[in-house]
A and B are shown apart, each in its own frame.
Chain A
Amino acid sequence: MTSTVEEAFSVRPIDPHLRQQLLILYLGTSALDSNVIGWTRYDGTGRSRPTMGDSDEPPYATGLDALIDGWRLIQMSQLMPHQPGHEYDVSYLPYEFVFERLVEVDA
């Protein structure tokens, strides 16, 4: 028996009490234990609303410190070769690390 896409995607999840919090760290190099030079947070619980310019001090000194504190790394930037003729060009920050943790929404 099949259901519609809408029905299938409205099924109650197995973990309805959990929400994702995201921490994005921009590091000085591709090494996870290098210094944090930029940071961003998103709160899936809706309890807080982090925004641009909300803090001058990073939540962790290095990416590894976040790992040690319980954050789970779910993605890191690929190392991209420099385009010939544009080796010195600068653009977006290259070393992005995305972390998550799951927290209880009713906690």
Chain B
Amino acid sequence: MTALVDRKHLMNSVEMAHFVSHGSFTLEAVVPDSMNQRAIEVLDEGIPGYPYGTPLDEAFPQGTFVRELLDLPPVAGALQSLVGPGPVIDHHAVHIRPPRGGEAQNMHGDAILDTRTDAFDVQLMYYPRDVTLEQGGTLSVPGTHLRKINQTGIGRYQNLAGQTRLVCPAGTVVFLHHGIWHGGRRNDSDEPRYMFKIRFNPTVRQLRLWNTDDIDDPAVLKELTARFGWTSANEGRLELVNRAKLWRTLTGDQLFDIDNYLTREQLRPQFVAPGATDVRLASNRSGAGWNL
């Protein structure tokens, strides 16, 4: 993990734009079956915790299962594309929801209201077994990650148009922006549901960390302007503005815009046109004093 990942394994610009608009990036069935089989025992045993900010090498040295997972080229490539080389562990957790177990969580954002607009954490979610609809995989709402809310302040939002319930084959790894609205659902199946998550903090500026060879691909803008059911009306354009701001941050291109919103608000010409300089136009009697 400490070595730079081969460029061919990094995310491309279209995939990064997808992450910016959706707040997630999925690698379906990327972990081989042999590892998925071993994962159950590892997760059942539990994985010890570490202080915030522990380097990867220290928390998960070579030879550990988690390091093997993080060294899979597509996983390592996505992680480096999102948070850069040498990220540190914020925290991690094993979630095992027993058969017929648990209650649906209220919708929430993890941790606490996060004020950052020029950086983000990612949460890696690893599912070593198939996740079916009945198992109550995580519900998340694409595109909500840029909205500033505090924890379960959104707890009374039960359903939003465009929400997705995770259904995936064994060995799937999902990367989520820290701000995405989500909640765990009840497991209505006879099988336990396994998930291992790690939250990563970046240690470098999140600037052009992915393979930008396709930066001019029209599909980039198409991804950045993706619409979801809940953005179909008045909230949609504000979302585009915030995605454009994040894309400026990630690319360093301060002129990037979507539908001219950020450009237009800068249009405040200061040059006074010839013929508009008669200062007498600014004076009038009422300005001189009461009843004059």
Contact = CB atoms under 8 A, between A and B. Distances in A.
Interface residues of A, number: 29
B160 A26 contact: yes
B42 interface: no
A95 B105 CA distance: 23
Nearest to A41: B158
A92 B155 CA distance: 11
Contacts of B231: 37
B104 A28 contact: no
Contacts of B159: 38-40, 52-56, 58
Nearest to A22: B156
Interface stretch (A3-11, A63-71, A83-91, A99-107): A83-91
Size class of B's contact patch? 35 or more
Nearest to A92: B149
B17 interface: no
Contacts of B250: none
Given A52-B159, A90-B148, A90-B239, 16 more contacts: A26-B230, A28-B233, A37-B235, A38-B157, A40-B157, A50-B158, A52-B158, A53-B159, A53-B185, A54-B104, A58-B159, A88-B241, A89-B242, A91-B147, A91-B148, A93-B230
B23 interface: no
Nearest 5 interchain pairs by C-beta: A28-B233, A53-B139, A51-B104, A40-B158, A37-B230
**Most-contacted residue by chain B among A36, A38, A53, A89 (CB, 10 A):** A53
Contacts of B107: 52
B240 to A, nearest CB: 10
Nearest to A29: B234
Contacts, number: 93
A24 interface: yes
Interface of B: 103-107, 139, 146-149, 153-154, 156-161, 163, 165, 183, 185-186, 229-235, 238-239, 241-242, 245
B186 A51 contact: yes
Contacts of B245: 88
A48 to B, nearest CB: 12
